C-alpha cells in the first residue's frame, strides 16, 4: 500500500471515527435521559414529563450541543497543528543549528528521512522525560512536528533512533496524524460530560441550605446527585473513548513498525529500541499532564489504561524479531554517546568528507527514476535514505550551515532566485534586496549564490526542504516579508520561468501552509472532471522537456495512463505556458489521492518515454507534486537506463 492508498484509507477511517463518535453520543444521551426521567419521576409536579418525547428531544439537543461544541472548541485550539500538541506536552523546539551532538544526530536522521520520503523536513521538539518515547503530530506533512523524549536520544544508538524515527515518518505519510488530532477533539467533547458533572458536585455544597432557605438546600442536594450521575455517565464516555482509541491506534502501530523495517532495512533498529523500553524502569511512560489525551500518538504506551492504545511490547518485538529470547537488556544505566563517524558524510556536521563517490548503485539508480519515485511515495526504502545522505554530503558544509538558521536560510532561497545570465536583472535584484531586507542580507545572498553554481537541480530542491525547520522559526510578519521579497525577485525580469515556478510551489508547500490557515490536503474530484487540466500538464512536460525531439509520442505515452480516448490532442505551445500550468495545478489539488497517483504516473510515463529525465522535466514534476500536496522522493536528471 503506497502513500495515495493510505491517504484514501485515512479519508474512509474518518467516517469510521464519526460513526464511533455518534454511537458514543447516542449512549450518553440514553443514559442522561434515563437519569433525568428517574429524578423527575420522584417529584409530583414533574411526573407528567418523564419518559416523554419532548424531554428526550431537549436532552438530545443539550447533549449534542455540549459534546459538539466541546469537540469543536478542542479541534479549534489544535488548528496550529503539531506545534500546539508538542508544546502542550512540554516539548521545546530543537534549534536547527544546535551544537549538542545527540541533538545533531537526531536532526541529521530526521533530515535524511524527510528528503528520502519527499516530505518537508519537520521541526523536532524535545521533551525532558527520562523514558524512551516519541510522537508525530500535525494535520498534514506540511505542518508536522516530531517529538522525542530525552531518554530517547540518551539511551538509543543511531540505528535504534533511526528505527523510531522511521516509525514516526510512517504515521506522517500514512495519514495517521490528522486522524489522531481529530480523535483528541472528539474525545474531549465526550469527556466534557464528566467535567460538567464534577463542576456540579463542586458547587453543590455552596448551594446547600441552612435554616433560612430549605429550597436552596434541596437544590444543592439535587445538584450533587445530578453531578454524581453525570460524572458516572462521563466515565461511560471515557469507556467509549478508550474503545475508540484502541480501535483506531493498535493496528496502525503494527503497520508503522513494519513500515519502519522497510524504510531502514534494519529490523534490529526498531526492535532494539522496543527492547530497551522493556528494560528501562521508566519504560515509555510520559509524566506530562496532557499525556493521557495524546496517548494514542506515542511510539510506546505512555499511560496505563483499561484499553491499551498500543499492542503489548513483547508482541511488537516478536513480529519484527521472531527469534527473540524474551529477555530485555538493562537500560537504566546505559547511555549512547554519538561517535564522530555517525556524522561524517551524513549531513556535513563535521564538514565535507572530501570526495563524494561518483558511481551510484543499481538500487539508487532505480529509486531515482520518475516512475519508481512515484511508486515509492509513502514507502521509502533504505536506498532512498542512502541517496538522500549522498545528496546532502555532496553539498558544501557552508551552505548546510546557512540553511539551518533563519537568516541564512532566507538568503539561500534568495540566492536560488538570482538571475545567472542577465547582469542588469541581477543588479536590479540586489538593489531590491538592499531596500527590502535587513542589513547583511544582500552580502550573505551573494556568498550563497557563489556556492550554488555547481549544484544539481535535486540538490537545490533538497536545500529548500532542509531550510523549512529554520524558516518555521520566523514570525508571521517576518514570513510575510520573506514571501514578499521572493515574489519581487521572481518578478524582476518580468517573466516566470519553470524553475522559479516549481521553486515557488515547493516553498508554498513546505512553508506557506505552516503559516496559513489549515486547508484540506486532498479533494474528491476525479480525473475525468479535470481532464483538460491533466492534458495541459502532460502537454507542458512534452513541449518543454524533450530537448528538441517530437513531443507527440511522449505526450501520448502519458495520456494513455489516464484516458483511453484516441481523440485527445497535444496542446499548442501557446497553451503550455507557466501561467496556464499554474492555474491547472491549482485546480488539480481537488483530485482524490488515488487520482493524484494516476496523474503523477502519467507524468512519469511522459518523462520516461525518451529514456532520460531532463532538468526541466524534474522541475515541472517537482512543482506539480508540491502543488497537489504529494510527497515525491528525489528524482535525478539524466539517463534513466
Q: Which residues have a catalytic role annotated?
A: 168
Contact 505, 623 (CB under 8 A): yes
Residue in the structure block whose three cell numbers are 441552612: 210
Residues 573 and 81: their CA atoms lie apart, in Å, by 42
607 Cβ neighbours under 8 A, 6+ residues apart: 370, 541, 545, 554, 613, 617, 621
Burial 249-267 (b: 16+ CB within 10 A, else e): beebbebbbbbbbebbebb
At what angle are helices 267-279 and 313-320 packed, to 10 degrees? 160
Q: Which of 398, 390, 389 has its CA nearest to residue 351?
A: 398
Residues 326 and 57: their CA atoms lie apart, in Å, by 56
176 Cβ neighbours under 8 A, 6+ residues apart: 10, 136, 170, 252, 256
Q: Give CA separation, 313 vs 36, 244, 305, 606, in Å.
A: 44, 20, 15, 47
Q: Which of 239, 241, 226, 146 has its CA nearest to residue 188?
A: 241
Q: Which three cell numbers stand for residue 385?
A: 535514505
Measured distance between the N- and C-terminal CA atoms of the chain, rounded to whole angstroms? 27
Q: Give CA separation, 274 vs 128, 146, 311, 372, 529, in Å.
A: 20, 18, 12, 32, 48
Contact 530, 591 (CB under 8 A): yes
For 451, phi then psi, to 5°, come to -85, -15
Give the full edge-to-edge strand order of the sheet including 145-149: 92-93, 123-127, 145-149, 134-137
Looking at the DSSP bridge assignments, the partners of residue 613 are: 638
Helices and strands per DSSP (H, E), number in the chain = 26, 6
Long-range contacts of 478-481 (CB under 8 A, 24+ apart): 478/406, 479/511, 479/515, 480/515, 481/436, 481/437
For 263, phi then psi, to 5°, come to -65, -45
- Burial class of residue 579, CB neighbours in 10 A (0-12, 13-18, 19+): exposed
Contact 534, 527 (CB under 8 A): yes
Residues 227 and 383: their CA atoms lie apart, in Å, by 59
Amino acid at each position: 500500500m503506497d502513500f495515495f492508498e493510505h491517504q484514501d484509507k485515512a479519508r474512509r477511517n474518518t467516517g469510521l471515527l464519526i460513526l464511533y463518535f455518534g454511537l458514543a453520543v447516542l449512549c450518553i444521551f440514553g443514559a442522561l435521559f434515563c437519569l433525568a426521567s428517574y429524578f423527575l419521576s420522584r417529584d409530583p409536579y414533574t411526573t407528567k414529563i418523564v419518559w416523554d418525547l419532548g424531554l428526550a428531544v431537549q436532552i438530545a439537543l443539550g447533549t449534542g450541543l455540549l459534546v459538539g461544541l466541546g469537540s469543536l472548541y478542542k479541534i479549534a485550539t489544535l488548528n496550529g497543528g503539531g506545534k500546539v500538541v508538542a508544546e502542550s506536552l512540554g516539548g521545546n523546539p530543537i534549534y536547527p543549528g544546535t551544537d549538542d551532538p545527540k541533538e545533531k544526530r537526531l536532526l541529521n536522521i530526521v533530515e535524511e528521512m524527510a528528503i528520502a520520503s519527499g516530505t518537508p523536513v519537520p521541526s523536532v521538539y524535545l521533551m525532558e522525560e527520562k523514558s524512551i518515547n516519541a510522537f508525530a503530530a500535525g494535520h498534514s506533512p506540511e505542518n508536522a512536528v516530531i517529538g522525542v523524549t530525552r531518554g530517547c536520544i540518551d539511551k538509543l544508538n543511531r540505528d535504534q533512533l533511526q528505527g523510531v524515527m522511521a516509525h514516526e515518518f510512517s504515521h506522517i505519510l500514512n495519514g495517521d496524524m490528522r486522524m489522531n488530532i481529530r480523535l483528541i477533539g472528539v474525545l474531549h467533547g465526550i469527556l466534557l460530560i464528566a467535567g460538567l458533572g464534577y463542576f456540579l458536585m463542586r458547587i453543590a455544597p455552596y448551594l446547600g441550605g441552612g435554616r433560612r432557605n430549605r429550597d436552596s438546600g434541596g437544590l444543592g442536594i439535587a445538584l450533587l446527585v445530578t453531578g454524581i450521575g453525570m460524572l458516572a455517565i462521563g466515565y461511560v464516555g471515557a469507556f467509549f473513548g478508550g474503545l475508540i482509541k484502541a480501535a483506531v491506534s493498535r493496528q496502525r502501530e503494527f503497520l508503522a513498525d513494519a513500515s519502519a523495517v522497510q524504510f531502514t532495512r534494519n529490523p534490529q533498529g526498531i526492535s532494539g529500541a522496543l527492547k530497551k523500553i522493556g528494560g528501562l524502569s521508566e519504560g515509555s511512560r510520559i509524566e506530562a499532564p496532557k499525556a493521557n489525551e495524546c496517548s494514542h500518538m506515542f511510539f510506546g504506551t505512555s499511560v496505563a489504561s483499561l484499553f491499551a492504545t498500543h499492542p503489548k511490547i513483547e508482541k511488537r518485538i516478536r513480529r519484527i524479531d521472531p527469534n527473540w529470547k524474551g529477555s530485555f537488556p538493562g537500560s537504566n544505566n546505559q547511555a549512547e554517546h554519538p561517535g564522530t563517524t555517525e556524522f561524517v558524510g551524513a549531513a556535513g556536521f563535521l564538514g565535507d568528507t572530501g570526495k563524494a563517490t561518483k558511481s551510484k548503485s543499481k538500487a539508487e539508480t532505480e529509486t531515482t527514476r520518475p516512475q519508481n519515485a512515484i511508486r515509492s511515495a509513502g514507502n521509502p526504502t533504505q536506498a532512498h535514505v542512502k541517496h538522500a545522505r549522498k545528496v546532502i554530503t555532496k553539498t558544501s558544509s557552508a551552505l548546510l550551515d546557512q540553511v539551518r538558521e533563519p537568516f541564512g536560510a532566507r538568503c539561500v532561497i534568495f540566492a536560488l532566485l538570482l538571475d545567472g545570465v542577465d547582469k542588469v536583472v541581477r543588479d536590479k535584484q540586489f538593489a531590491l534586496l538592499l531596500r527590502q531586507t535587513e542589513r547583511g542580507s544582500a552580502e550573505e545572498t551573494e556568498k550563497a549564490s557563489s556556492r550554488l553554481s555547481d549544484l544539481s537541480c535535486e540538490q537545490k530542491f533538497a536545500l529548500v526542504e532542509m531550510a523549512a525547520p529554520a524558516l518555521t522559526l520566523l514570525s508571521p510578519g517576518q514570513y510575510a516579508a520573506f514571501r514578499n521579497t521572493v515574489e519581487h525577485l521572481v518578478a524582476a525580469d518580468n517573466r516566470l520561468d519553470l524553475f522559479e515556478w516549481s521553486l515557488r510551489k515547493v516553498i508554498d508547500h513546505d512553508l506557506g501552509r505552516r503559516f496559513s490557515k489549515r486547508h484540506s490536503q486532498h479533494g474528491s474530484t476525479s480525473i475525468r472532471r479535470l481532464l483538460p487540466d491533466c492534458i495541459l500538464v502532460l502537454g507542458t512536460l512534452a513541449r518543454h522537456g524533450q530537448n528538441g525531439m517530437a513531443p507527440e509520442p511522449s505526450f501520448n505515452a502519458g495520456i494513455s495512463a489516464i484516458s483511453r480516448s484516441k481523440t485527445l490532442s497535444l496542446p499548442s505551445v501557446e497553451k503550455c505556458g507557466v501561467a496556464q500550468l499554474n492555474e491547472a495545478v491549482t485546480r488539480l489539488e481537488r483530485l482524490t489521492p488515488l487520482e493524484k497517483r494516476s496523474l503523477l504516473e502519467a507524468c512519469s510515463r511522459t518523462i520516461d518515454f525518451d529514456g532520460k529525465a531532463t532538468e526541466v522535466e524534474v522541475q515541472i514534476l517537482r512543482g506539480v507534486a508540491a502543488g497537489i500536496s504529494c510527497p515525491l522522493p528525489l528524482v535525478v536528471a539524466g539517463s534513466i537506463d
